[in-house]
Amino acid sequence: MAGHNKWSKVKHIKAKQDAIKGKAFTKAVKDLSIAAREGGGDPSKNASLRVAIEKAKAISMPAKNIQRAIDKATGNLEGVILEDITYEGYAPGGVAIIVQCLSDNRNRTVANIRHIFNKNGGNLGENGSVSWMFEKKGVISIQRGDKDDEVLETALENGAIDVHEYDEVLVIESEVAEFNSLLTSIESLNVEILESEVALMASNEIEVDDQVATKVEKLIDALEEDDDVQAVYHNMK
Protein backbone atom coordinates (compact mmCIF):
# COMPACT_ATOMS: atom_id res chain seq x y z
CA MET A 1 0.00 0.00 0.00
CA ALA A 2 2.87 2.35 0.82
CA GLY A 3 4.30 1.82 -2.65
CA HIS A 4 0.91 2.52 -4.18
CA ASN A 5 0.59 5.75 -2.23
CA LYS A 6 4.05 6.85 -3.31
CA TRP A 7 3.24 6.13 -6.97
CA SER A 8 -0.03 8.02 -6.64
CA LYS A 9 1.87 11.02 -5.32
CA VAL A 10 4.41 10.76 -8.14
CA LYS A 11 1.60 10.59 -10.71
CA HIS A 12 -0.07 13.60 -9.12
CA ILE A 13 3.15 15.62 -9.21
CA LYS A 14 3.79 14.58 -12.84
CA ALA A 15 0.23 15.50 -13.81
CA LYS A 16 0.68 18.91 -12.21
CA GLN A 17 4.00 19.41 -14.01
CA ASP A 18 2.42 18.34 -17.31
CA ALA A 19 -0.41 20.81 -16.77
CA ILE A 20 2.07 23.63 -16.10
CA LYS A 21 4.07 22.65 -19.19
CA GLY A 22 0.86 22.48 -21.23
CA LYS A 23 -0.09 26.01 -20.17
CA ALA A 24 3.40 27.24 -21.03
CA PHE A 25 3.14 25.63 -24.48
CA THR A 26 -0.30 27.16 -25.02
CA LYS A 27 1.00 30.62 -24.14
CA ALA A 28 4.06 30.13 -26.36
CA VAL A 29 1.85 29.13 -29.32
CA LYS A 30 -0.27 32.24 -28.84
CA ASP A 31 2.79 34.47 -28.57
CA LEU A 32 4.19 32.94 -31.77
CA SER A 33 0.86 33.34 -33.53
CA ILE A 34 0.41 36.98 -32.56
CA ALA A 35 3.97 37.88 -33.55
CA ALA A 36 3.75 36.07 -36.89
CA ARG A 37 0.34 37.49 -37.72
CA GLU A 38 1.41 41.07 -36.92
CA GLY A 39 4.88 41.05 -38.48
CA GLY A 40 5.11 38.06 -40.82
CA GLY A 41 6.68 34.64 -40.51
CA ASP A 42 10.32 35.56 -41.15
CA PRO A 43 12.13 36.01 -37.81
CA SER A 44 15.02 37.82 -39.49
CA LYS A 45 12.58 40.63 -40.33
CA ASN A 46 10.31 40.28 -37.28
CA ALA A 47 12.01 40.98 -33.95
CA SER A 48 8.91 40.09 -31.95
CA LEU A 49 8.77 36.68 -33.62
CA ARG A 50 12.48 36.13 -32.83
CA VAL A 51 11.77 36.73 -29.15
CA ALA A 52 8.74 34.41 -29.22
CA ILE A 53 10.78 31.64 -30.88
CA GLU A 54 13.56 31.92 -28.29
CA LYS A 55 11.03 31.72 -25.46
CA ALA A 56 9.39 28.67 -27.06
CA LYS A 57 12.78 26.99 -27.37
CA ALA A 58 13.56 27.83 -23.73
CA ILE A 59 10.60 25.69 -22.60
CA SER A 60 11.70 22.88 -24.93
CA MET A 61 8.91 23.27 -27.47
CA PRO A 62 9.72 21.07 -30.49
CA ALA A 63 10.81 22.93 -33.62
CA LYS A 64 7.95 21.41 -35.63
CA ASN A 65 5.42 22.82 -33.13
CA ILE A 66 7.01 26.24 -33.38
CA GLN A 67 6.90 26.17 -37.19
CA ARG A 68 3.31 24.90 -37.18
CA ALA A 69 2.20 27.82 -34.99
CA ILE A 70 3.91 30.26 -37.36
CA ASP A 71 2.47 28.61 -40.47
CA LYS A 72 -0.99 28.54 -38.94
CA ALA A 73 -0.87 32.24 -38.12
CA THR A 74 0.45 33.25 -41.55
CA GLY A 75 -1.98 31.05 -43.48
CA ASN A 76 0.67 28.63 -44.76
CA LEU A 77 -0.78 25.53 -43.13
CA GLU A 78 -2.05 23.24 -45.87
CA GLY A 79 -5.74 22.42 -45.71
CA VAL A 80 -6.51 24.93 -42.96
CA ILE A 81 -8.25 28.24 -43.62
CA LEU A 82 -8.14 30.58 -40.65
CA GLU A 83 -9.57 34.04 -40.11
CA ASP A 84 -8.94 36.76 -37.58
CA ILE A 85 -12.05 37.55 -35.57
CA THR A 86 -12.36 40.21 -32.88
CA TYR A 87 -15.10 40.26 -30.25
CA GLU A 88 -15.97 43.12 -27.93
CA GLY A 89 -17.92 43.16 -24.71
CA TYR A 90 -18.13 44.04 -21.06
CA ALA A 91 -16.99 42.20 -17.96
CA PRO A 92 -18.52 42.72 -14.50
CA GLY A 93 -18.16 46.30 -13.27
CA GLY A 94 -18.40 47.71 -16.77
CA VAL A 95 -14.83 46.72 -17.63
CA ALA A 96 -14.31 46.80 -21.42
CA ILE A 97 -12.99 43.60 -23.01
CA ILE A 98 -11.59 42.93 -26.49
CA VAL A 99 -10.95 39.32 -27.53
CA GLN A 100 -8.82 38.54 -30.57
CA CYS A 101 -9.30 35.08 -32.07
CA LEU A 102 -7.86 32.96 -34.86
CA SER A 103 -10.45 30.44 -35.99
CA ASP A 104 -11.32 27.90 -38.67
CA ASN A 105 -14.98 27.89 -37.58
CA ARG A 106 -16.59 31.26 -36.87
CA ASN A 107 -19.85 29.75 -35.58
CA ARG A 108 -18.05 27.57 -33.02
CA THR A 109 -15.88 30.44 -31.86
CA VAL A 110 -18.65 32.99 -31.34
CA ALA A 111 -20.76 30.41 -29.49
CA ASN A 112 -17.85 29.61 -27.16
CA ILE A 113 -16.99 33.26 -26.53
CA ARG A 114 -20.62 34.21 -25.85
CA HIS A 115 -20.96 31.26 -23.45
CA ILE A 116 -17.82 32.31 -21.54
CA PHE A 117 -19.04 35.91 -21.23
CA ASN A 118 -22.50 34.85 -20.05
CA LYS A 119 -21.18 32.25 -17.61
CA ASN A 120 -18.86 34.78 -15.97
CA GLY A 121 -21.20 37.73 -15.61
CA GLY A 122 -20.20 39.56 -18.78
CA ASN A 123 -21.96 40.62 -21.95
CA LEU A 124 -20.80 40.16 -25.53
CA GLY A 125 -21.34 43.43 -27.41
CA GLU A 126 -21.48 44.67 -30.97
CA ASN A 127 -18.42 45.52 -33.06
CA GLY A 128 -17.25 48.98 -32.12
CA SER A 129 -18.90 48.94 -28.70
CA VAL A 130 -15.60 49.21 -26.81
CA SER A 131 -12.80 49.33 -29.40
CA TRP A 132 -12.87 53.14 -29.37
CA MET A 133 -11.42 52.96 -25.85
CA PHE A 134 -8.20 51.27 -27.04
CA GLU A 135 -5.15 52.22 -29.10
CA LYS A 136 -2.73 49.86 -30.85
CA LYS A 137 0.82 50.21 -29.53
CA GLY A 138 4.05 48.29 -29.35
CA VAL A 139 4.70 46.96 -25.84
CA ILE A 140 7.99 45.53 -24.54
CA SER A 141 8.30 44.21 -20.97
CA ILE A 142 11.82 43.76 -19.61
CA GLN A 143 13.10 42.18 -16.41
CA ARG A 144 14.76 44.87 -14.30
CA GLY A 145 18.47 44.48 -13.58
CA ASP A 146 21.82 46.24 -13.64
CA LYS A 147 21.24 47.58 -17.17
CA ASP A 148 18.08 49.56 -16.38
CA ASP A 149 19.66 52.95 -17.13
CA GLU A 150 21.01 51.67 -20.43
CA VAL A 151 17.61 50.19 -21.33
CA LEU A 152 15.84 53.48 -20.58
CA GLU A 153 18.35 55.51 -22.57
CA THR A 154 18.19 53.13 -25.53
CA ALA A 155 14.40 53.09 -25.44
CA LEU A 156 14.07 56.86 -25.44
CA GLU A 157 16.61 57.18 -28.27
CA ASN A 158 14.82 54.60 -30.43
CA GLY A 159 11.18 55.59 -30.52
CA ALA A 160 9.71 54.84 -27.08
CA ILE A 161 6.75 57.07 -26.29
CA ASP A 162 6.30 55.97 -22.67
CA VAL A 163 8.11 53.91 -20.03
CA HIS A 164 6.46 52.46 -16.92
CA GLU A 165 8.78 51.48 -14.09
CA TYR A 166 7.54 48.75 -11.74
CA ASP A 167 9.36 46.91 -8.94
CA GLU A 168 10.58 44.06 -11.14
CA VAL A 169 9.67 45.05 -14.69
CA LEU A 170 10.14 47.91 -17.14
CA VAL A 171 7.29 48.30 -19.63
CA ILE A 172 8.14 50.29 -22.74
CA GLU A 173 5.50 51.56 -25.18
CA SER A 174 6.00 52.70 -28.77
CA GLU A 175 4.06 53.54 -31.87
CA VAL A 176 3.44 50.48 -34.03
CA ALA A 177 5.72 51.80 -36.80
CA GLU A 178 8.66 52.05 -34.38
CA PHE A 179 8.09 48.73 -32.59
CA ASN A 180 10.39 46.40 -34.55
CA SER A 181 13.35 48.77 -34.64
CA LEU A 182 12.93 49.56 -30.94
CA LEU A 183 12.76 45.87 -30.03
CA THR A 184 15.88 45.15 -32.10
CA SER A 185 17.72 47.89 -30.21
CA ILE A 186 16.61 46.48 -26.85
CA GLU A 187 17.60 42.95 -27.94
CA SER A 188 21.15 44.15 -28.57
CA LEU A 189 21.54 44.96 -24.85
CA ASN A 190 21.23 41.26 -23.91
CA VAL A 191 18.56 41.84 -21.28
CA GLU A 192 15.69 39.49 -20.47
CA ILE A 193 12.68 40.41 -22.59
CA LEU A 194 9.59 39.02 -20.86
CA GLU A 195 6.98 40.06 -23.42
CA SER A 196 7.01 41.85 -26.76
CA GLU A 197 3.93 42.45 -28.86
CA VAL A 198 1.79 44.89 -30.73
CA ALA A 199 -1.11 45.18 -28.31
CA LEU A 200 -4.26 47.15 -27.67
CA MET A 201 -3.77 49.58 -24.78
CA ALA A 202 -6.70 51.18 -22.98
CA SER A 203 -6.77 54.96 -23.37
CA ASN A 204 -8.67 55.26 -20.08
CA GLU A 205 -8.58 52.67 -17.32
CA ILE A 206 -11.30 52.20 -14.72
CA GLU A 207 -10.92 51.20 -11.08
CA VAL A 208 -13.02 48.43 -9.55
CA ASP A 209 -13.09 46.94 -6.07
CA ASP A 210 -11.37 43.65 -5.21
CA GLN A 211 -14.56 41.60 -5.50
CA VAL A 212 -15.28 42.84 -9.02
CA ALA A 213 -11.60 42.52 -10.00
CA THR A 214 -11.71 38.83 -9.04
CA LYS A 215 -14.75 38.30 -11.28
CA VAL A 216 -13.09 40.13 -14.18
CA GLU A 217 -9.91 38.06 -13.81
CA LYS A 218 -11.98 34.88 -13.79
CA LEU A 219 -13.62 35.90 -17.08
CA ILE A 220 -10.26 36.78 -18.64
CA ASP A 221 -8.75 33.45 -17.52
CA ALA A 222 -11.69 31.55 -19.02
CA LEU A 223 -11.36 33.41 -22.32
CA GLU A 224 -7.60 32.81 -22.51
CA GLU A 225 -8.13 29.08 -22.01
CA ASP A 226 -10.17 28.83 -25.22
CA ASP A 227 -8.09 27.38 -28.06
CA ASP A 228 -9.26 29.99 -30.58
CA VAL A 229 -8.42 32.97 -28.38
CA GLN A 230 -5.12 34.65 -29.18
CA ALA A 231 -5.24 37.68 -26.89
CA VAL A 232 -7.54 39.39 -24.40
CA TYR A 233 -7.35 43.12 -23.65
CA HIS A 234 -9.19 45.09 -20.97
CA ASN A 235 -9.30 48.54 -19.37
CA MET A 236 -9.29 47.49 -15.71
CA LYS A 237 -6.72 49.42 -13.70
Q: Provide the 10 A C-beta neighbour count for residue 4.
A: 8
Q: Are residues 196 and 139 in the same domain?
A: yes
Asked whether the predicted pLDDT for residue 6 surpasses 80, the reply is no
Report pLDDT for 20: 47
CATH of the domain at 50: 1.10.10.200
Domain of residue 187, residue span: 135-202
Q: Is residue 157's pLDDT more than 90?
A: yes
Domain count, the chain: 3
- pLDDT band at 21; cut points 50, 70, 90: low
Residue 79: per-residue pLDDT: 66
Kindly state whether residues 27 and 114 are assigned to the same domain. Answer: no
Q: What is the CATH number of the domain that holds 161?
A: 3.30.70.980
Q: Both 6 and 116 in a single domain?
A: no
pLDDT surpassing 60 at residue 116: yes
Helices (H), 160-209: 179-187
Calculate the alpha carbon distances from 131 to 29, 37, 89, 128, 189 in Å.
25, 20, 9, 5, 35
Residue 15 banded pLDDT, cuts 50, 70, 90 = very low
Cα three-residue angle 39-41-44, rounded to 5 degrees: 85
Whether residue 64 is found in the same domain as residue 151: no
Q: Are residues 124 and 208 in the same domain?
A: yes
Which band of pLDDT confidence, cut at 50, 70 and 90, is reported for residue 16? very low
| pLDDT tens-digit series, residues 34-79 | 888 888 999 999 988 998 999 899 889 999 999 988 988 888 877 6
Half-sphere exposure of 71 (CA within 13 A, CB side): 11
- Amino acid identity, position 206: I
Residues 120 and 179 in one domain: no
Do 67 and 87 belong together in one domain? no
On whether both 159 and 208 belong to a single domain, the answer is no
